[in-house]
Amino acid sequence: MARRAVITGIGLVSGAGVGREAHIGCADRLDARPTALALFDGSTMPVQAAFQVSRPRPAPFMKRRKDLKLMSRDAQLALQAAGLALTDALIAPMDPDAWPIPPEEAGLFMGVGLEPGNITELGYVAADCSSAHHGIDLHRLGGSSIDLIPPLSALKTLPNMALAHISINLGMMGPGEALSPWGTAGIAALGVAVESIERGECEMALVGASDSDVDLGGVSTHARLGLAARLTAAQAQSSDLWSLDGFVLGEGAAFLVVEDEALALRRGAHIVARVGAVASRTQSGAALAAFDAGCLRTVVNQVRAGGDLVTGVGGHWAAWRAAEAEALGGDLLYPSRATGWCAAASGLLDLGAALATACDRGYHGGLVGAAWSPGGDCAAVRCEVME
């Protein structure tokens, strides 16, 4: 019998709030406002505000709370969202004996970003090996300065560590993969999970994406590349965000419980949506900050059918939002107006928020989650909303 992947749980953490309910109606939230950067003093930066999570709370889904010191911010967001998704699917995250299948047989697929080093930790190193006349003294860096690097720093910056922390804490040892295309990682991870279920490699999987671009590394990188809207803390509270030239940055995580429909029916789960076709396209050598409307149109049209709702990730960037509208036509959903641009997490976070809203409002029909990156990659997935 052919296997078919369905979504049975949604876990979301972003500047819009925590949990499925907090993200209902994100696309209509006109009063959502970014706040002054909290992780460092951004008063001298061209970007001084972002959509932020007040405090990640992964502890309820951790075996050992002391391991929190090993986790980067995106890993904390990811574990919290993963636990919320399982809970929403009526699966107790910390009770492996109650799972519908053993956790060690469940798949784990995740879109990740590139986590920069902690500026507080690395600042001591840079200061110690700096030379007034020659910049960084490499001889000193390789000598005494290197001893100032905290030994656990490297474990916080590896891209696949967020996936590892989820696997360790929830006991998941089935098929797994971390993907890192910039803006399409989450949708790409969902595609891999669907294929794994359809091939019979696993009956159930956690699929997610997480990214945090509100630290010094993320903010400075987006500003340097011309991707971030120049926004002071005061302007963030008074400007017309919908007309800005650039992304309003954010952070967040989105996870979905995806399982074989037969398993979902057998255990009496609430089916949120059936997952249909997934399509993607890579634009090799595309210019950064360019937008290929034709690529997005091609990918979305590969999966959409008729009057499907479609999410857009251009968000507060007026020019990119206009390009999406031209490419896709009709009204688009923009949950990102309340979450900001969350890089690797954007596509799946928008899809999760749109699914939560559609279910709450009794919508039954097609919903296309579209994602694209500043480098030109595009991806799309169609879900048939059932709940």
Mean of pLDDT over the chain? 90
Lowest-pLDDT range of 54-63, 215-224, 240-249: 215-224
Lowest-pLDDT range of 34-38, 49-53, 136-140, 197-201: 136-140
Question: Do 196 and 332 share a domain, yes or no?
Answer: yes
Question: Do 133 and 193 share a domain, yes or no?
Answer: no
Q: pTM of the entire structure?
A: 0.92
Beta bridge partners of 231: 47
Domain count, the chain: 2
What pLDDT was estimated at residue 30? 83
Res. 259: pLDDT tops 90: yes
CATH of the domain at 183: 3.40.47.10
What single DSSP character describes residue 311?
A: B
Question: Do 137 and 212 share a domain, yes or no?
Answer: no
Tokens of 241: 């965000």
Lowest-pLDDT range of 110-124, 166-180, 351-365: 110-124
What pLDDT was estimated at residue 34? 96
Share of the chain above pLDDT 90, in %: 68
Cα gap 212→350, rounded to integer Å: 15
SS3 string, 99-131, reads CCCCHHHCEEEEEECCCCCCHHHHHHHHHHCEE
Lowest-pLDDT range of 36-40, 59-63, 286-290, 382-386: 286-290
Res. 131: pLDDT tops 80: no
Domain boundary among 129, 155, 181: 155
Tens-place pLDDT, residues 26-71: 999 888 999 999 998 899 999 999 999 999 999 999 999 888 988 9
Domain span at residue 127 reads 119-155
Cα gap 129→137, rounded to integer Å: 5
Question: Do 38 and 127 share a domain, yes or no?
Answer: no
What pLDDT was estimated at residue 287? 60
- Mean pLDDT score, 87-100: 97
Res. 116: pLDDT tops 70: no
Question: Do 53 and 133 share a domain, yes or no?
Answer: no
Question: Do 224 and 325 share a domain, yes or no?
Answer: yes
Domain boundary among 155, 178, 205: 155
Pick 141 or 350 by higher pLDDT.
350
Question: Do 311 and 328 share a domain, yes or no?
Answer: yes
Cα gap 276→384, rounded to integer Å: 7
Q: Which single residue is written with the structure tokens 């797994």?
A: 176
Position 115 confidence tier, pLDDT thresholds 50, 70, 90: low
Position 153 confidence tier, pLDDT thresholds 50, 70, 90: confident
Res. 317: pLDDT tops 80: yes
Res. 260: pLDDT tops 80: yes
- The total of other beta-carbon atoms located within 10 Å of residue 228's CB is 26
What pLDDT was estimated at residue 217? 83
Cα gap 238→83, rounded to integer Å: 36
Res. 286: pLDDT tops 60: no
Question: Do 64 and 130 share a domain, yes or no?
Answer: no
What pLDDT was estimated at residue 290? 67
Question: Do 250 and 370 share a domain, yes or no?
Answer: yes
Question: Do 190 and 250 share a domain, yes or no?
Answer: yes
Cα gap 364→359, rounded to integer Å: 8
What pLDDT was estimated at residue 122? 67
Question: Do 228 and 372 share a domain, yes or no?
Answer: yes
- The total of other beta-carbon atoms located within 10 Å of residue 243's CB is 12
Res. 284: pLDDT tops 70: no
Cα gap 307→332, rounded to integer Å: 11
227, HSE (Cβ side, Cα atoms, 13 Å): 26
Question: Do 144 and 209 share a domain, yes or no?
Answer: no
